[in-house]
Amino acid sequence: MPDSMWSLADFRFDEAIEAADVYLDRGSGSELMARDEAIAFAHQRAANLVAWWPSTADAVPTCIVAKVSLPLRWERVPVEGSPPPIDERLWFDAACGRRDFIVGNGNTFIGRMAAWCPHDGVGYNVSLGEMGAMSDESRYFVAGYLAGSQPGYPRDAEDETDEADLVAWRAATARFRRTGLWYGRWGTCQVCGCVLLPDSAADRCHEHSTVTSG
């Protein structure tokens, strides 16, 4: 699955599909064929050959037969206004001491959730560490949200993962699921100089977080 929504600029059909061969299901299962043969098959049905999803340069595209209208345009769906739909079971105690509601993905930093304050009529983004007591439904929502949005493990150019990186990733994502915070920047401990995990915005590592200067 992609990490973000594709751009319409990534949409490829007919000759814009940059591959000599494609996979296409003509009714008897997916089969490998020349792209031009697949385009002809689609045009015979008054349709187009469409790449089902953006593919890497070395991958054979999987295609479907579908109608394409020019100029290309997205489907239009009415967008709900403000306030957003509120499920009153998803409440939590906000920093102001009143109850606000979780309403979805904050679409900003990893782990941030969209919240709605019914008292002031405003929406804002919040992390788990900024939320007080909450309903059971909210606890389960937050746990699932953080588990689903945690960053994947690091890989190098050969798609390999160093063992030290993997250990660090496990520790960082475990803490992320407890705090909802993911800083995503390089930093080092001012005491020992170790590289800090990306979920931390601190200037000291866990081992030296209680060490006082002087």
Per residue in 166-196, pLDDT (tens digit) is 999 999 999 999 999 998 888 888 888 889 9
The matching CATH number, chosen from 3.10.20.80, 3.30.420.40, 3.40.1710.10, 3.40.640.10, for 8-66 is: 3.10.20.80
What letters, b where the CB count within 10 A reaches 16 and e where it falls short, cover 182-214? bbeeebebeeeeeebbbbbeeebbeeeeeeeee
Ramachandran angles phi, psi of 30, nearest 5°: -65, 130
Domain ranges (residues) in the chain:
8-66, 91-149
Q: pLDDT tens-digit profile of 127-169?
A: 999 999 999 999 999 999 999 999 888 888 788 888 989 999 9
Q: pLDDT (tens digit, 9 = 90+) per residue, 33-62?
A: 999 999 999 999 999 999 988 776 678 999
Rounded CA-CA distance 92/139 in Å is 9
| CA gap 214, 200 in Å, rounded | 23
